[in-house]
Amino acid sequence: MPMTVVRRRRGVFPRLRKRMRNSFLFVPFAGLLIGWVLAAVVVRADSLIHDLDARWTGVDLSGLWFLRTAADFGSAARTAVAAVSSAMLTFIGVVFSITLVALQMAAGRFSPRVLRIYVESRVTKLTLGTFLCTFLYTLRGQKEYGSAGEGGDAVVPYLGSSLAMGFLLLSLALFVVYVHSTIRLMRVTYVMDRVCQESLRLIRDSAGPARAAAGDAGERGADPGGTTVGHVWRPGVLQAVDVPRLVALAARDGLVLHLVPRIGDYLVPHAPLFRVTGGPAPSDADLQAALELGVERTTEQDLAFGIRQLADIASRALSPAVNDPTTAVQALDRIQVLLTAFARQPLGRAYHRDADGAVRLVETLPSWPELLDLGLTEVRDYGIGSVQITRRIAACLDDLERLAPPDRREPVRRHRDLLEEAVHTTAATPQRAAFALQPDRQGIG
């Protein structure tokens, strides 16, 4: 079995960053706070300028551009601030409506698994946060600038109106960028490319050097023995594992930890979680601190999740309600990219070592046959009646058999046999079967 060291760069405060990335609360609330604080600071600065002008009437400050104290400027500035405040409320409603429509289209047309791309969009959060900041800033400024200054007249919003115009220009620019970004996210090819690039980055960051060579089939069911530690916390999807923490914990007690579930598995109470050899099991609190559970799979450490999303998009495109085999062919293009990247990667098990070179954590990875089944089985079964799909799968199998190492070509041949069997079963004539099995990377041109 291949022995690998998986290096996962999670950075500083990974859980906090993950929650911020998956939340729509932080950036909008930060925008509200910034708007409130900025309004207080700018109103105070304009009040000081107003009081200075009222006290030092003998000093000629008319040459300074921000000290134009004409009554018409003050009235126009207050009107502009009020107009910006009203417009921002409308913009917020538009952004909220477009976001909801985009989410509904993504869930219905692509797959519910890709909704995270919309939730994680920095452009959407920044746009909404900027609009809320501008709205609260101008709303408070509209109230404060109506109060009288030292001379009994209202404070003229020199700085306040200038900053409001700046926020307005920024909001308009962000609105254009937001519409452009949302339109791209509504295109299935962009979403599939995004999923593919995320998965390729994860494969590149997770790959480690092979320490030994052996087959990787059937590794998931191996029993290492030792003491079994069951899952005693809340149920959820295993999203990430803090490998350095578990390695340090095992090295401290001289143990070897075998992680039974795989990243992406749903953990139910009392299911086997760890097999511990070499000594007594660590406390539940220590083990829990090294695992992250959530409500859905993520691309943080889940090697197979990218293929799962692309297979879902292809399956939905092949449903009778949609009947879009061209989109399924485009999904197969990306699936082949990921399978090609996996073809020469060590799979099956990952062995994590401490500073002394001793194995401390053994983790189950998806095997090469499992990845092939995940990427091709459902698409083949749902699209067996479409010549585009069968021809594209045939081309994919040709490329994989040519690129894969000799010990990984047998699962590829097995899928070719399954494809030929299904085509000959459904095709009306041998001529149609031969045409359906002719490799074509575009399906049908």
List phi, psi (to 5°) of 357. Answer: 90, 5
Q: How far is CA 29 from CA 16, 38, 128, 155, 317, in A?
A: 16, 14, 10, 29, 38
Q: Cα–Cα distance between 91 and 83 in angstroms, integer?
A: 12
Token digits for 130? 């900027």
Percentage of the chain modeled with pLDDT above 70: 84
Cross-sheet strand order for the sheet of 227-230: 227-230, 272-277, 256-259, 359-364, 349-353
Give me the pLDDT at residue 222, please: 54
The per-residue pLDDT for range 217-266, each reduced to its tens digit, is 444 455 666 788 888 888 999 999 999 999 999 998 889 999 999 999 99
Q: Enumerate the β-bridge partners of residue 292.
A: 240
User: Tell me: the pLDDT tens digits for 108-151?
Assistant: 778 778 778 888 888 888 998 999 999 998 888 877 776 544 44
pLDDT digits (tens, 9 = 90+) for 78-87: 777 778 888 8
* Torsions phi, psi for 384 (to 5 deg): -65, -25
Residue type, 96: F
How far is the C-alpha of 291 from the C-alpha of 293, rounded, in Å? 7
Three-state DSSP class for residue 44? helix
DSSP H or E run through 377: helix 368-382
Identify which of 8, 440, 4, 3 has the alpha carbon closest to the alpha carbon of residue 242.
Answer: 8
Q: Rounded distance, CA 159 to CA 360, Å?
A: 62
Nearest to 176 by CA among 95, 89, 82, 93: 95
Q: What is the pLDDT of residues 276-299, one digit of tens each?
A: 988 888 888 888 888 999 888 988
* pLDDT above 90 for 439: yes
- Average per-residue pLDDT in the chain? 83
* pLDDT for res 233: 87
pLDDT digits over 316-327, tens only? 999 888 888 999
11 Cβ contact list (under 8 Å, min separation 6): 17
- Averaged pLDDT for residues 394-414: 94
Q: How far apart are CA 336 and CA 427, in angstroms?
A: 25
Q: Residue range 322-351: average pLDDT?
A: 92
Distance CA(416)–CA(408), nearest Å, equals 14
One DSSP character per residue, 237-276 reads EEEEE-HHHHHHHHHHHT-EEEE-SPTTPEE-TT-EEEEE
Residues 6+ apart with CB under 8 A from 185: 102, 106, 117, 118, 121, 191
- Render 71-82 in DSSP notation, one character per residue: HHHHHHHHHHHH
Q: Which helix (H) or strand (E) holds 206?
A: helix 188-206
Q: What is the pLDDT of residues 353-362, one digit of tens each?
A: 988 888 999 9
Q: What is the mean pLDDT of residues 170-187?
A: 88
Taken as a whole, the chain contains a residue count of: 445
The pLDDT value given to residue 82: 79
The residue that leads in pLDDT, 401 or 92, is 401
DSSP state of 362: E
Q: Could you tell me the CA-to-CA distances from 341 to 204, 280, 335, 345, 384 in Å, in that order?
A: 9, 39, 10, 7, 26
Could you write out the DSSP letters of every residue in 121-147?
Answer: -HHHHHHHHHHHHHHHHHHHHHHHTTS
Give me the torsion for CA of 150, 153, 159, 162, rounded to 10°. 180
For the segment 3-7, the average pLDDT, to the nearest whole number, is 44
End-to-end CA distance of the chain: 41
Sign, CA torsion 213/216/218/224: positive
